[in-house]
């Protein structure tokens, strides 16, 4: 990005949504729009991301991702070379949450909303980044 022209191209390019792993905060984040976002904490694993109005759901964040992924990668049956479908990781978070999720409508609906976006946009992350 040192090249001035490359920087200007990056600055004015059309945003292409993709999941990103943030190493220092150990999160995977997906947002469908590069806009001012509002992050709504659901629980220790999931945050929903809304647009600047606070009403339009544009994405989600899976927190403690590497920590959690270590525990579930075999359950999902993943090996190197795969791309990890985030809707499957969300399902696993729900399963591990078990009873806690069943009785909590807000959490249940939040996970459902995140899964819906993950499926709709086929959100994936490279296994090598996740593992």
Partner 1 sequence: MAQIILHPAMKPKREFFKPPAIEIPHPSGTGHIPIAVSSIVIEELAKAGRRVPLFQMWSHIVGEMPPINNAYHYPQIHYPDAVLNSIQHAHACYKGVKRPLNKEDDGGDVYVYIISTPQTVEWKSDMACNVALVDSPPNTVFTVHVRPASALQIEAAGLWGAATKWEFVDADAERPTLPDAYGTRYSETVWEREG
Q: Which of 3, 5, 24, 107 touches partner 1 (CB under 8 A)?
A: 24
What are the CA-CA distances from residue 27 to residues 33, 45, 66, 83, 105 (Å)?
18, 9, 8, 17, 24
Q: Interface with partner 1 includes 130 (CB under 8 A)?
A: no
Q: Which of 3, 11, 79, 103 touches partner 1 (CB under 8 A)?
A: 11
CA–CA separation, 125 and 131 (whole Å) = 10
Give the residue with the Cβ less far from partner 1, 64 or 112.
Answer: 64
Shortest separation between residue 55's beta carbon and partner 1, angstroms: 10
Closest of 21, 130, 17 to residue 81, by C-alpha: 130
Shortest separation between residue 6's beta carbon and partner 1, angstroms: 11
Neighbours of 107 (CB within 10 A): 18
Residue 130 phi/psi, 5-degree rounding, is -75, -35
Shortest separation between residue 62's beta carbon and partner 1, angstroms: 11
Q: Which of 32, 42, 58, 68 touches partner 1 (CB under 8 A)?
A: 68
| Residue 54 zone, left/alpha/beta (φ > 0; ψ -120 to 50; rest) | left
Q: Interface with partner 1 includes 83 (CB under 8 A)?
A: no
Residues within the interface to partner 1 (CB under 8 A): 1, 7, 10-13, 15-16, 18, 20-27, 31, 34-41, 44-45, 52-54, 63-64, 66-68
């Amino acid at each position: 990005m040192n090249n001035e022209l490359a920087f200007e191209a990056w600055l004015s390019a059309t945003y292409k949504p993709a999941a990103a792993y943030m190493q220092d905060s150990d999160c995977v984040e997906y947002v469908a729009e590069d806009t001012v976002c509002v992050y709504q904490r659901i629980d220790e694993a999931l945050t929903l991301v809304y647009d600047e109005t606070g009403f339009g759901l544009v994405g989600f964040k899976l927190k403690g991702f590497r920590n959690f992924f270590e525990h579930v990668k075999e359950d999902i049956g993943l090996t190197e070379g795969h791309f990890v479908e985030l809707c499957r990781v969300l399902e696993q978070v729900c399963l591990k949450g078990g009873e806690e999720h069943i009785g909590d409508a807000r959490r249940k609906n939040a996970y459902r909303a995140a899964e819906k976006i993950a499926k709709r946009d086929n959100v994936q992350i490279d296994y090598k980044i996740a593992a």
